[in-house]
Structure 1
Amino acid sequence: MTFWDVLPVAVALVFVIEGVLPFLSPRRWRQAIATIAQMEDRHIRNFGLGSMLFGLFLLYLVN
């Protein structure tokens, strides 16, 4: 498998996973978005960095 074979599958899975919470609990999802909107940029960046590092770690474990 090449990168270009796997990329569309990975993007599709991101959409599926991202859609689970709004589908199951739209009220809590809306509250979470409102809370995130009030956070400082620094906290959001740190969360994003942590998410990326965790994702890289999982990719390392899988491969």
Structure 2
Amino acid sequence: MNSTIWLALALVLVLEGLGPMLYPRAWRRMVASLSQLPDNLLRRFGGGLVVAGIVIYYMLRKTIG
């Protein structure tokens, strides 16, 4: 795999870990409220995040190299 992908994955893990580490109560409330949402809304949200990530990746890839 490309080293850029591994670096991006590492950055995602760091950012995802900051929420529960710094704000455990707020993170727990957020997860509890997300678990109450309907499946189709969660799928749309996840799909939007995937599309945003792909767009950002390609924009940076084009800019950097």
Query: Secondary structure at 1:39's aligned position in 2?
Result: coil
Q: Detail structure 1 runs of 4+ shifted over 4 Å in the superposition.
A: none
Alignment partner, residue 12 of structure 2:
14
Q: Does 1:45 align with 2:43?
A: yes
C-alpha distance in structure 2 between counterparts of 1:57 and 1:7, whole Å: 14
TM-score, scaled relative to structure 1: 0.85
C-alpha distance in structure 1 between counterparts of 2:5 and 2:58, whole Å: 16
In structure 2, stretches of 5+ residues that fail to align are none
Could you tell me the percent identity over the aligned residues?
36
Q: How many pairs align?
A: 61
In structure 1, stretches of 5+ residues that fail to align are none
TM-score, scaled relative to structure 2: 0.82
